[in-house]
Amino acid sequence: METKESHNKANSTDQNKGIVYIIGAGPGDPELLTMKADRLLREADVILYDDLVSPELVSHYPALKIYTGKRKDCHHFEQEAINEEIVRQAKMGRKVVRLKGGDPFVFGRGGEEIESLRQHGIRYEIVPGITAAHGASAYSEIPLTMRKVSSSVAFCTGHPVSKIQVPDADTLVYYMVASSVHDVLDAVLNKGRNLETRVAIVQNATRYNQRIFTGTIRELREREKSVYSPALLLVGDNISQFIGENWFSKKKKVLLIGNGGKNYDPSDYVTVHLPCSSADGSDRKMVQHCLENITHYQVIFFAGVLSVRHFFNCLFMSGRDVRHLRESRIITYGKAAASELVKYIVVPDFRLEPDKPDDLISLFRENGLSGATVLLPGSNLPDSSQLFALEASGNSVTPLCVYTQGFRENDEEIDLDFIDEIYFSSPSCVRNFRTVYTGIPERIKVTTADEHTGNECTKIFGGRLLQG
Ligand code: SAH
């Protein structure tokens, strides 16, 4: 029997097990994460992550994720609330990772967070990360120090304006300058540097959309007042080392949409991955209606793995099972759908493996599958070429939304201005992409996983040149 005392004991052991890792995630390029950070993220029960950490990076780890940033539509945590949440999670005996952009101890409020852990007697460790200044320096090829040019470097903040300092160092790196570049430049001039001093702004350092401006203080003061965040301002003669085309800018930037796909050699390409995930979110009313009248459908046509998986989920949730499908003939389209179906102990009556979507019509005809009532479980974005082929064979088709396709909510919108190539891994990725982007700029090369995806792309984005 559990006594109050033993209960308390259990709680305090749980609490003793709780540990917090304050980890730096680096400036953006996911490969700049340390091996230690990667291990701890894999082992974590919960990850609390900030604005500057990409949702794509954290999505690779199984832990519960809590976003503590300020991105639109999300609850905004104040620092106090973040501290409390970290403590609460640790007291439940969990392995907590507090993941921060760059390094936690460089303008990262890591100091404040450990303060609260110390107060509560919670165990913690700190894992350093690559700070934005180091990322920007390496990826823009501007050394922070250099023999005979610069022998000291200082990291400073441009925010708040009242705290701007100009230390006596050869190279100055200013963080948080999005709205205060001009104030920083004024302060630097006031400290005695002249208008011809070289400066650089490195925005989105180490990411696919890294942008660099270099010039003199005079030139930068003539430009617009604000820069986009996140950006760093560098000041010093070392900036003369900058070259327009460097090892990072030379690489082609590829947007990979969906899962799997071509292997792009990292020595030539920077890849940005936009997963096109499925989520629950069926058309409940319609699902209920179709399942109640399931014997009405002479054919159930499964066009993909997710259609199978989500359809059976809906079927089981409604208290039914495969016995309810005995009146219908079951057709799969492609190998993957057929193998998925076997997991539900169902062998398809027909397995269609067309090379081209056009084959579908003839396959239907050849197999005497014309004129049937067909249920087509799929996503909220049905494949119109399949629908057309099924209808063209004289069938009466009912598309049924059993899952929702979409990009993840927290994913940032990709700026196509920086993209050289887009790779679509499936037709549904093309349709998904179309829900967010109205078109694809002519200069971007488009590649697709197969002909079917290529056709979808041509259909949706017009007759632009596709490269397979
Ligand atoms: N702890 C972080 C800094 C957090 S303060 C680190 O060590 O890098 C936030 C500021 O960091 C931003 O306003 C910006 O000035 C800078 N920053 C962070 N990531 C950046 C990036 N990828 N490119 C340019 N600046 C970045």
SS3 sequence of 153-220? EEEEECCCHHHCCCCCCCEEEEECCCCCHHHHHHHHHHCCCCCCCEEEEEECCCCCCCEEEEEEHHHH
Cα 319 from chain centroid?
Answer: 36
- Catalytic residue among 9, 36, 70, 343, which? 70
pLDDT in tens, the chain (468 residues): 444 444 444 455 555 779 999 999 999 999 999 999 999 999 999 999 998 998 888 988 999 988 888 654 555 678 888 999 999 999 999 999 999 999 999 999 899 899 999 999 999 999 999 999 999 999 999 999 999 999 999 999 999 999 899 999 999 999 999 889 999 999 999 999 999 999 999 999 999 999 999 999 999 999 877 677 899 999 999 999 889 899 999 999 999 998 766 789 999 999 998 887 666 678 888 999 999 999 999 999 998 888 999 999 999 989 999 999 999 999 998 888 999 999 999 999 988 886 665 677 777 777 777 888 999 999 888 887 788 888 888 899 999 999 887 776 656 789 999 999 999 988 888 988 888 888 899 999 999 988 888 888 988 887 654 444
- Measured from the Cβ of residue 78, the count of other Cβ atoms closer than 10 Å reads 9
- Report the CATH fold assignment for 279-406: Rossmann fold (3.40.50)
- Rounded to the nearest 10 degrees, how much is the dihedral formed by the CA atoms of 402, 383, 279, 295? 10
Query: What is the rounded CA–CA span in Å between residue 31 and residue 206?
Result: 10
Largest CA distance in the chain: 87
C-alpha distances in Å from residue 42, one per residue of 54, 57, 225, 405, 441: 16, 12, 42, 27, 38
Which atom in ligand 1 lies closest to the alpha carbon of residue 178? 13
Ligand 1 in reach of 26 Cβ (< 6 A): no
Give the pairing type, strands 198-203 and 231-235: antiparallel
Ligand 1 in reach of 28 Cβ (< 6 A): yes
With 0.85 as the threshold, say if the pTM is over it: no
Q: Which helix (H) or strand (E) holds 350?
A: strand 350-352
Ligand 1 in reach of 200 Cβ (< 6 A): no
Residue 297: closest CA among 331, 318, 328, 323: 328
Give the Å distance between the CA of 177 and the centre of ligand 1: 10
Write down the CATH number for the domain with range 134-241. 3.30.950.10
Residue 148: active-site member: no
Which atom in ligand 1 lies closest to the alpha carbon of residue 133? 8
Give the Å distance between the CA of 235 and the centre of ligand 1: 16
| Helix, coil or strand: residue 21 | strand
CA-proximal residue: ligand 1, atom 6 (nearest): 102
- Pocket-testing residue among 204, 232, 248, ligand 1, by greatest number of atoms within 8 A of Cβ: 232
CA-proximal residue: ligand 1, atom 9 (nearest): 176
Give the Å distance between the CA of 240 and the centre of ligand 1: 23
Task: List b or e across 423-439, with b for residues whose CB sees 16 or more CB atoms inside 10 angstroms.
Answer: bbbbbbbbbbbbeeeee
For 292-309, the pLDDT digits (tens) are 999 999 999 998 888 999
Tokens 């401006």 belong to 213
Ligand 1 in reach of 103 Cβ (< 6 A): yes
Tokens 């995806």 belong to 453
Residue partners of 312: CB distance under 8 A and separation at least 6? 344
Query: What is the rounded CA–CA span in Å between residue 311 and residue 313?
Result: 5
Residue 70: active-site member: yes
**CATH fit for domain 4-129, picks 3.40.50.1220, 3.40.930.10, 3.40.1010.10, 3.40.50.720:** 3.40.1010.10
pLDDT for res 451: 84
Query: What is the rounded CA–CA span in Å between residue 430 and residue 462?
Result: 12
- Measured from the Cβ of residue 452, the count of other Cβ atoms closer than 10 Å reads 19
Can you give the residue ranges of every domain in the chain?
A: 4-129, 134-241, 252-275+408-461, 279-406
Tokens 């919960």 belong to 46
Ligand 1 in reach of 108 Cβ (< 6 A): yes
Give the Å distance between the CA of 173 and the centre of ligand 1: 11
C-alpha distances in Å from residue 160, one per residue of 177, 182, 313, 414: 9, 13, 53, 30
